[in-house]
Amino acid sequence: MAAKSNKEHNISPSELLEGRSRFFEGDRTLWIIFAVLIVISILVVYSSTAKMAYDITSDLSTADSLRQQIMLVVIATIIVVVFHKINYTVIRFLTPAAFYFFVALTVATYFIGSTTNGAARWIPIGPFQFQPSEALKVFTILMLARRMETRQHDIDKINILPTSWRINDPKQKRILKENTLPLIGPIILACGVILPAHTSSAVIIFAASVLMLFIGRVSMREIIKFLVVTSAVGVLGITAMAVADVGRGDTAGGRFSQWANTWISDGRHNAVYEFSDTERAMIAIHEGGLFGKGAGHSASRAAIIHPESDYAYSFFTSEYGLVAAIILMLLYLWITFRAIEICKRCTKAFPTLITAGLGLLITCQALLHILVQVNILPETGQNLPLISRGGSSLIITAFAFALILGVSRTNDLRDSKQPTKATTTENE
């Protein structure tokens, strides 16, 4: 009896974990990062939109913006809580249909979408505006992961592009059919439909996809060949759009010229309105100093064109200072580091690839946003993930977070079901 009682009370922590269900499962560090970012989002949007009270052209008050952002944050949190409980195999099954659906929806924006600042990117859904290209970013990563998963046994040896221009050759046809179209097709299709309306989003998808190819063990020779070919085609495409005045080619060219001029100009202007958006952002960063002006005390929100979205990071720096801004940047980098740790615990290719790809996608977009603020890169119009005002970006980034947490949760459940060393010894 004593031995039996001792055995009953000698229960491992993993067995206790198996017997109860936690509300927030998966990587706890990622949950904390998510919570910190959405709290910052509410603070930034509320403070930065205070100038709307003096803007007679705006239909929203500061209180309206705050209520809207809180509602979006609640929706985003619900999405993370719900979707991180769904097994990644379900997401894998739905990926092809979702990918082509958002491709079609992105194309539809050019015909039925609403246009802002010359860009047709949004589908009106009641009182909301949905940007399908944001969802297409995520599902391009998922689609690529699904295609690479089935080729892991020899992916480091295959050719992803034809080896000659003789397309009629049976060998080249086989490469096109078995490798090029399945692996490169989704990348080209997604970038192609997004490029006319949002050049920087196409660049982000392309960069994240190339990193995915590297993580998925495609040979470096093939990746370099792919980069050379697509870079040449991309430059020709953007140039053609600019010459023909189609899409946003002229806007991209104008932003690049403005970026170059900012570096070579002496920075002296006769009035505030002569400063470029990036120059105003750099002034806001300088205004913040080490510890910032304090919440609601930044004077830069009246000068920055979009402090709640395109220039959220510079506005955050002006109010909370350089120290807080560096910590914020490190939080985005930490997302990728946590994703890598989750990848190390995965036993299958698909969850490994989507975790790495989505972590890189979130971090790359954040770094792109930050680098624009200090004029290292031309203006892109990219939001700061989970912080900038904008429903589509917030909701889709929350979905990506949920998928990463879902993989982490699956890893935890798998590990909890494996007998510990002590239990195995006792049974023997």
- pLDDT single digits (tens) 196-228: 777 888 888 888 899 889 988 888 998 999 898
User: Mean pLDDT throughout 405-416?
Assistant: 90
Between 228 and 404, name the one with better pLDDT: 404
**Predicted confidence (pLDDT) at residue 170 exceeds the cutoff of 90:** no
Mean residue pLDDT across the chain: 80
- pLDDT-wise least confident of 40-44, 244-248, 376-380: 244-248
| pLDDT over 90 percentage in the chain | 32
Q: Give pLDDT, residue 343.
A: 93
Give the number of residues written for the chain.
Answer: 428
Q: How far apart are CA 348 and CA 239, in angstroms?
A: 42
**Predicted confidence (pLDDT) at residue 263 exceeds the cutoff of 60:** no
Report residue 357's pLDDT band, with 50, 70 and 90 as the boundaries: very high
For the chain, the farthest-separated pair of C-alpha atoms sits apart, in whole angstroms, at: 91
Report residue 3's pLDDT band, with 50, 70 and 90 as the boundaries: very low
Report residue 407's pLDDT band, with 50, 70 and 90 as the boundaries: very high
Look at the block and give the residue holding tokens 């060949």: 225
Cβ neighbours of residue 404 closer than 8 Å, sequence gap 6 or more: 26, 27, 30, 338, 339, 342, 354, 355, 358, 359
Determine contact, residues 319/297, Cβ cutoff 8 Å.
yes
**Of 361, 356, 329, which is closest to residue 340 (Cα–Cα)?**
356
Report residue 92's pLDDT band, with 50, 70 and 90 as the boundaries: very high
Cβ neighbours of residue 354 closer than 8 Å, sequence gap 6 or more: 88, 91, 141, 142, 145, 403, 404, 407
Q: How far apart are CA 166 and CA 159, in angstroms?
A: 15
- pLDDT-wise least confident of 102-111, 232-241, 322-331, 405-414: 232-241
Look at the block and give the residue holding tokens 């989704």: 186
Between 38 and 297, name the one with better pLDDT: 38
Q: How far apart are CA 143 and CA 97, in angstroms?
A: 10
**Predicted confidence (pLDDT) at residue 110 exceeds the cutoff of 70:** yes
Q: What is the dihedral of CA 166, 167, 171, 177, to 10 degrees?
A: 160
Q: How far apart are CA 99 and CA 91, in angstroms?
A: 11
**pTM confidence score:** 0.83
Dihedral pair phi/psi, residue 165, rounded to 5°? -85, -5
**Predicted confidence (pLDDT) at residue 102 exceeds the cutoff of 70:** yes
Distances in Å between the Cα of 400 and the Cα atoms of 1, 23, 51, 194, 366 are 52, 18, 32, 19, 14
Q: How far apart are CA 2 and CA 8, in angstroms?
A: 10
| Most confident segment among 1-10, 136-145, 148-157 | 136-145
Report residue 4's pLDDT band, with 50, 70 and 90 as the boundaries: very low
Q: How far apart are CA 181 and CA 188, in angstroms?
A: 9
**Predicted confidence (pLDDT) at residue 422 exceeds the cutoff of 60:** no
- pLDDT-wise least confident of 64-73, 109-118, 144-153, 398-407: 109-118
| Cα radius of gyration (the chain) | 24
Each residue's pLDDT tens digit, 253-262: 555 555 556 5
Strands 119-125 and 114-116: antiparallel
Q: Identify the H or E element spanning 40.
A: helix 28-48
| pLDDT over 70 percentage in the chain | 76
Each residue's pLDDT tens digit, 314-333: 888 888 999 999 999 999 99
Written as one string, the DSSP assignment of 132-169 is HHHHHHHHHHHHHHHHHHTTTTTTTTS-SS-SSS-TTS
Give the count of alpha carbons within 13 A of 263, CB side only. Answer: 11
The DSSP secondary-structure symbol of 131 reads: -
Q: Identify the H or E element spanning 297.
A: none
Determine contact, residues 230/203, Cβ cutoff 8 Å.
no
Between 43 and 379, name the one with better pLDDT: 43
Distances in Å between the Cα of 166 and the Cα atoms of 6, 171, 252, 408, 425 are 75, 9, 35, 46, 63
